[in-house]
Chains A and B, each alone.
Chain A
């Protein structure tokens, strides 16, 4: 009675309390899931057979959309950079701006956001469907470690494939930038490449790859968590899938800021 009346008397604090409790419950379960996965990494027999398949699903099947997005991001960056420059600023700056923006920020972030929707939603829907149709229980009943069998290969594949996708994206974004500069902004290819060379630093590319690795882990692990613990039948799967897209996008932008603050 006391709890209920307190809840009604202070609905704001009651809501905060409930949400806080739910948040820390989820966080605890997520950490337990990750700890279980890490603890059993040495048991490679459980998951090694599925990694290649997941790499194809996450990597190969996402290549086209990543390349498409990165190419247009490069083109837009190039055209908008040229548009913003005063006439007296040398055109080579466009190449510098494109290479820096693309390697440090645009390709890793936009690739992650696109894949949060595509890969994250797919993983949650797959695992969620398996959960509600008792396939996860069936795996356990057949004496499989369902976490190692289902979750570990997906996360490892994400950690491996996201950086590779980002490298492809970087290349296509630079080529897109060159194309945009030459065809739309009428900057010579030589000027664009000269500007790019003058600003290029290996660390910029490495930083993007590090970010992609973290994004790969974040997106796949959140998606796996959401799918593995689905409740409430097919409606629950739908909610969890939507939750994955929202959560992974938020997590990616926060992590983007944290990594930039620490590493740059």
Chain B
């Protein structure tokens, strides 16, 4: 379980977070919704200690990430997979080497076993025979899939997705959404998805946290946020959702 409690953060005098709080329950996918530039990605990085909040607590399995030492943080990060917005593949390595990096360093797998795990991770994300390809030759959607394969290679308990569908065409975005749902059902991971894409959010999310001006406007299920009395939440949902989608809601 992840608990985010009263997070405050400012960058160069600009207050980005003003007391953000929400929790993520076991094996659920919580989607953090909010406008671009609202500090959603920063929040995700705070969960694994890449950025420290100015105030507040982040509890993962009951332990406060904010107060962890560097060795404790590294131990914590083994539990997490992180899909970065631009996939963040190491461009000097092949796809196979990208996935093998953490397998070689953090686990005592034999050479053949590493190869099998690379194949398996790539198979899960629907990519085969790309082990020897350089990331620069891949499309945006394929890069995200490889990033996902790299994240799940060590079978994490938690997955963090930073704008998983941003910059992708509708069909590719749907493929990624499907993959996020498949990972949850096949690996049983607990996930946080950060996005401003409301369509994607409704496909993958169990619960939602809506952020606005650095504060948590509300948390709840799809029905709860769509039927919310909060004017700001309604305004955000209605401004983000297309007429056809609202019709299906």
- Enumerate chain A interface residues (CB-CB to B < 8 A): 45, 129-130, 133-135, 137-145
Other A-B pairs beyond A45-B105, A138-B84, A143-B106, 6, CB < 8 Å: A135-B89, A137-B88, A138-B89, A141-B82, A141-B84, A144-B101
Report how many residues on chain B are interfacial, defined by Cβ distance under 8 Å. 22
B89 partner residues in chain A, CB cutoff 8 A: 135, 138
- Contact residues in A for B50 (Cβ distance below 8 Å): 137, 140-141
B84 touches A142 (CB 8 A): no
Are B88 and A133 in touch, CB under 8 angstroms?
Answer: yes
- Which of the 9-residue segments B55-63, B73-81, B186-194 touches chain A? B73-81
What residues of B have a CB within 8 angstroms of the CB of A134 in the complex?
Answer: 84-86, 88
Q: Assuming A142-B77, A143-B77, A143-B102, is B90 touching A137 (CB within 8 A)?
A: no
Using Cβ atoms and an 8 Å threshold, which residues of chain A touch B70? 145
Q: Is B48 on the interface with A (CB-CB < 8 A)?
A: yes
B45 at the interface (CB under 8 A from A): yes
B residues less than 8 Å from A140 (CB atoms): 48, 50, 77
* Residues on A with beta carbons closer than 8 Å to the beta carbon of B223: none
Contact A135 B88 (CB under 8 A): yes
Given A141-B48, A141-B80, do A135 and B91 touch, yes or no (CB 8 Å)?
Answer: yes
Q: From A149, which residue of chain B is reached at the shortest CB distance? A: B105
Contact status A145-B84, CB under 8 Å: no
CB nearest neighbor in B for A53: B92
- State the Cβ distance, B225 to closest chain A Cβ, in Å: 29
Interface flags, B97-120, vs A, CB<8A=1, else 0: 000011001100000000000000
Q: Complex: how many Å from CA A130 to CA B48?
A: 19
A135 vs B90: C-alpha distance when bound (angstroms): 6
Does A137 contact B84, Cβ atoms closer than 8 Å? yes
Cα-based distance from A129 to B92 in the complex (angstroms)? 11
Which residues, 91 to 149 on B, are CB-close (under 8 Å) to A?
A: 91, 101-102, 105-106
Q: Across the interface, which residues of A come within 8 angstroms of B74, CB to CB?
A: 143, 145
Total inter-chain residue pairs, C-beta < 8 Å = 49
Q: Is the CB of A138 within 8 A of B88?
A: yes
A144 to B78, CA, bound (A): 10
B residues less than 8 Å from A45 (CB atoms): 105
The CA of A135 and the CA of B45, in the complex, are separated in Å by 13
19 contacts between A and B (CB under 8 A): A45-B105, A129-B91, A133-B86, A133-B91, A134-B84, A135-B90, A135-B91, A137-B45, A139-B90, A140-B48, A140-B50, A140-B77, A141-B77, A142-B102, A142-B150, A143-B75, A143-B77, A143-B78, A144-B101
Task: Report the Cα distance A139→B90, complex, angstroms.
Answer: 9
With both beta carbons as reference points, the residue of chain A lying nearest to B90 in the complex is identified as A135
Q: How far is B245's CA from A20's CA once the two chains are assembled, in angstroms?
A: 56
Q: Nearest CB to that of A140 among chain B residues?
A: B50
Q: In whole angstroms, how far apart are the Cα atoms of A133 and B90 in the complex? A: 9
Which residue of chain A has its CB nearest to the CB of B79? A143
What residues of chain B lie closer than 8 Å to A135, measured between beta carbons? 88-91
A138, B105: Cβ atoms under 8 Å?
A: no
**CB-defined contacts of A143 to chain B, threshold 8 Å:** 74-75, 77-78, 102, 106
Give the complex CA separation of A140 and B73 in angstroms: 10
Q: Which residue of B lies closest to A126 (CB)?
A: B92
Chain B residues whose CB sits within 8 angstroms of the CB of A137 once the complex forms:
45, 50, 84, 88
- Which residues of the other chain, A, contact B90 by a CB distance below 8 angstroms? 130, 135, 138-139
Residue in B closest to A137 when the chains form the complex, CB atoms: B50
In the bound complex, CA of A15 to CA of B86 (Å): 39
Smallest distance from the beta carbon of A149 to chain B beta carbons, Å? 9
Chain B neighbourhood of A141, CB < 8 A: 48, 50, 77, 80, 82, 84
Shortest Cβ gap from B126 to chain A (Å): 21
Beta-carbon nearest neighbor of A139 in chain B: B90
Q: Measured between alpha carbons, how far is A256 from B240 in the docked complex, in Å?
A: 62
A139 to B80, CA, bound (A): 12
The distance from the CB of B2 to the nearest CB of chain A, in whole angstroms, is 15
Contacts of B80 in A (CB 8 A): 141
Say whether A144 contacts B88, CB under 8 Å.
no
Smallest beta-carbon distance B230→chain A, Å: 33
Q: Give Cα A83–Cα B39 distance, bound, in whole angstroms.
A: 68
A231 vs B225: C-alpha distance when bound (angstroms): 37
Q: Which of A45, A130, A141: most chain B Cβ within 10 A? A: A141
In the complex, A212 Cα to B101 Cα: how many Å? 34
Minimum CB–CB distance for A212 against chain B, Å: 27
Closest partner residue, chain B, to A132 (CB atom): B86
**B78 CB to closest chain A CB, in angstroms?**
5
Residue of B nearest to A36 (CB): B70
- Taking the closest CB of chain B, its distance from the CB of A68, in whole angstroms, is 27
**Lowest 5 A-B CB distances belong to which pairs?**
A138-B88, A141-B82, A134-B88, A143-B77, A142-B102
